[in-house]
Amino acid sequence: MRGRGGAGFPTGMKWGFVPKDSPKPKYVVCNADESEPGTFKDRYLMERDPHMLIEGMLIAAYALGARTNYVYTRGEYRYLIEIMDVALEEARAAGLLGENILGSNFSSEIYTHTGAGAYICGEETALLNSLEGLRGHPRMKPPFPAVAGLYGCPTVVNNVETLTAVPDIIKMGGEAWQKLGTEKSGGTKVWSVSGHVKRPGVYELPMGYDDMEKFIHEDCQGMLGGRKLKAVIPGGSSVYIMPASDIEGKDVRMDYEGLVAAGSMVGSGGFIVMDETVDVFESTKNLTEFYKHESCGWCTPCREGTDWLVKVFKRIEAGEGRPDDAQLLLDIVDNIEGKSFCPLGDAASWPIQSAIKKFPEDFRRKVSNGNGAGNTKEGLPTA
Amino acid sequence: MSQQFTPNNPLPQGAKVPTEIAVFSPEVEAEVDRHLAKYPVKRSAILPLMFIVQRERGGWLDPPGVAYLADRLGVRITDIWEVATFYSMINTEPVGKYHLQVCKTLSCKIMGAGMVTAKCSERLGIKPGQTSAKSSAGCRRTRSSPRSKSLLCAGAAARASRRG
């Protein structure tokens, strides 16, 4: 199973990196710092079935020999900690948690922990720093957390959706679970649908669901107010934006390969649907402001770059657009993408690159409305 | 009352750091102990403890509250502030009794976050970032000013969408 947090790293391989013979204690940490804009599946899973998460964590703890485990929940979800704590108490009372679980010689404890409002703490090494009581700056990798994670000990960090799938995988057998999806993208994916559809919410679909157009117009009951679809951000705010023309009549399969082929990514599955009333310049500015605010300040390309991006967006919006502003944005992005310390820089870059490429009109209109009008060298691709 | 000092309003150079330490009820102390018991390293409890102190000290980490945290966690006051200033849900400045935050990141923005903020402003007679004198309600539009710490995506987008 590929991790469902966003990066899609194979979970079994991650567990396999934990050294078996390490004399240090081992930790399983559940990443419930669900902060990617448009994503709320983990909240739903913990709210409705906390025991499924506890079971998944204990299986992981048993497999890895971890005695202590933490659920790192984002600060805004602190009410979920109350739900989790009750469920943990129930599990303890049933002999499923704590010392000598079910009379065996396996003992393991799960504790809840709260973040306090920082997107970056969803990055696993920043999460570990935060859990150690530090600022949530990411750490240099390698060493990877599997070797030196929490308190320098072998640690596995997995997303809520990943861990809640573990009991089903064990129960059904890996092969049967894999077959729920496609050969390359096994199992199911939980999507968080928001925006201009009649029925937003949390949807669990088999990987390879066919196809995105049907999903929007049938499962989500179509667009609000009967307006036209303009764009979808299918995998949380940092993935490439998809114009309606890349979805309608295009048979986009909803899995890792299908979305890459269609020019985007599964990411966290935060499926944001936008209708024709949305200006993609404005939506991209909104996301860029988010990344600027959430840049942790640790590395220069991301800290300074996101700040400059917002400055350019604001200047364009104030009617002072210049002919080469789109190119300027792309140039700044070029100095962030792949050059930042952690993936937040990439996450800030991709929405801008794809928005300018796919919706040049929305940028052109803003720029040419500015006092830099009459632009012939506007640096925009012709759609 | 000791002088109020915060990261944005530091003490003048050479001034003596107030030594007042917040005192809490046995129930709160027990709650603090429960959190400290979860971790092999005390400092790990810093965020859970900050939420407790913030709740008990009028919504923010006042200097006696910060001194208490440093004492209980065995770290320096600067360590407390170093962490506190990183996290947007930890207040290092006084806030209103009721602290309203409206998410304005994409999913919520396109579903009318601006209308919610406008309605709050209208009802309370204050702008985002301000605190009303009468009801001691603070309204903070997320990311409204450089200094304002904000609630960005709060993972409530599906609810935001259910408006009609």
The model's confidence at residue A375, banded by pLDDT at 50, 70 and 90, is very low
Does A383 reach chain B within 8 Å, measured CB to CB?
Answer: no
Mark yes or no for CB contact B153/A35 under 8 Å. Answer: yes
Which residues of chain B have a CB within 8 Å of the CB of A68? Answer: 40
Residues 80-99 of B with CB under 8 A from A: 82-83, 86-90
pLDDT tens per residue across span A180-193: 999 999 999 999 99
- A122 contact residues in B (CB cutoff 8 A): none
Q: Number of Cβ pairs closer than 8 Å across A and B?
A: 146
User: Which one is predicted more confidently, B76 or B143?
Assistant: B76
Q: Taking Cα atoms as reference points, which of B80, B155, B158, B135 lies closest to residue A273?
A: B158
pLDDT of res. B150: 40
The pLDDT, as a whole number, for residue A5 is 87
Residues B99, B151: contact at Cβ < 8 Å? Answer: no
Residue B155 pLDDT level (bands cut at 50, 70, 90): low
- Which segments of chain A are extended strands (E)? 27-32, 68-73, 109-114, 155-159, 188-195, 201-206, 209-210, 229-233, 242-243, 253-254, 270-275
Q: Hey, of A27, A45, A290, which one would you mutate to test binding to chain B, going by the most B CBs within 10 A of its CB?
A: A290
Q: Are residues B153 and A200, on separate chains, in Cβ contact within 8 Å?
A: no
pTM of the shown model: 0.91
Reported as a pLDDT band with limits 50, 70 and 90, residue A129 is very high
pLDDT above 70 for B159:
no
B17 touches chain A (CB under 8 A): no
Higher-scoring residue by pLDDT: A340, A376: A340
Q: pLDDT by residue (tens digit) across B49-64? A: 999 999 999 999 999 9
Q: How confident is the model at residue A379 (pLDDT cuts 50, 70, 90)?
A: very low
Which band of pLDDT confidence, cut at 50, 70 and 90, is reported for residue A244? very high
Task: Kindly state whether A265 is in contact with chain B, defined as any CB-CB distance less than 8 angstroms.
Answer: no
**Which amino acid is present at B69?**
L
Which pLDDT tens digit goes with each residue over B95-111? Answer: 888 888 888 899 999 99
Question: What is the ipTM score, two decimals?
Answer: 0.91
Distance of CA A93 to the CA centre of its chain: 34
Note whether B146 contacts A: Cβ–Cβ < 8 A. Answer: no
Say whether residue B70 is in contact with chain A using an 8 A CB cutoff. Answer: no
| Helix, coil or strand: residue A197 | strand
Distance from CA of A209 to the nearest CA of B (A): 21
Q: Determine the residue among B32, B86, B159 to mutate to test chain A binding: the one whose Cβ has the most chain A Cβ atoms within 10 Å.
A: B86
Q: Quick check: A237 and B111 CB within 8 A?
A: no
B36-50 pLDDT per residue, tens:
999 999 999 999 999
Residues 116-175 of A with CB under 8 A from B: 116-119, 130-136, 151
**Residues of chain B contacting residue A191, judged by C-beta atoms under 8 Å apart:** none
| Residue of A240, A242, A239, A237 lying closest to A216 (CA atoms) | A242
Residue of B nearest to A191 (CA): B158
Dist. CA A61–CA A106, nearest whole Å: 10
Is A286 close to B43, i.e. CB distance below 8 A? no
Q: Which of A5-14, A239-248, B37-46, B148-157 has the lowest mean pLDDT?
A: B148-157
Contact B105 A237 (CB under 8 A): yes
Rounded-to-integer distance, Cα B30 and Cα A81, Å: 18
Q: Tell me, what's the pLDDT at B13?
A: 77
pLDDT over 80 at A41, yes or no = yes
Q: What is the pLDDT of residue A229?
A: 97
Q: Higher model confidence: residue A295 or residue B125?
A: A295
* Residues pairing with A72 in the sheet: A31, A113
pLDDT band at B160 (very low <50, low <70, confident <90, very high): low
Largest CA distance in chain A: 79
Give all strands (DSSP E) within A63-135, no chain letters: 68-73, 109-114
Q: Average model confidence (pLDDT) for chain A?
A: 93
What are the strands, taking DSSP E only, across A145-244? 155-159, 188-195, 201-206, 209-210, 229-233, 242-243
The band of B142, judged by pLDDT with boundaries at 50, 70 and 90, is very low
- State which residue of chain B sits closest to A136, comparing Cα positions: B86
- Say yes or no to pLDDT of A158 above 60: yes
- B104 and A286 within 8 Å at the Cβ level: the answer is yes
Contact residues, A window 218-237, toward B, CB-based 8 Å cutoff = 224, 233, 237
Q: Sorting pLDDT into bands at 50, 70 and 90, what band is A111?
A: very high
- Whether B42 and B48 have beta carbons less than 8 Å apart is answered as no
**How does residue B161 score in pLDDT terms, banded at 50, 70 and 90?**
very low
- Report the pLDDT value the prediction gives residue B163, as an integer from 0 to 100: 37
CA-based diameter of chain B, in Å?
Answer: 59
Cα A185 from Cα A1, distance rounded (Å): 8
Q: Please compute the mean of the pLDDT values over residues A332-345 and round it to a whole number.
A: 96
Question: Which range is least confidently modeled, A175-179, A311-315, A367-371?
Answer: A367-371
Contact A130 B43 (CB under 8 A): no
Average pLDDT over residues B6-25: 81
Once rounded to an integer, what is the mean pLDDT over residues A131-146?
Answer: 96
Quick check: A69 contacting B, CB < 8 Å?
Answer: no
Report the percentage of chain A scoring pLDDT > 70. Answer: 96
B46 touching chain A per CB within 8 A: yes
Chain A residues in contact with B89 by the CB 8 A cut-off are 75-76, 116-117
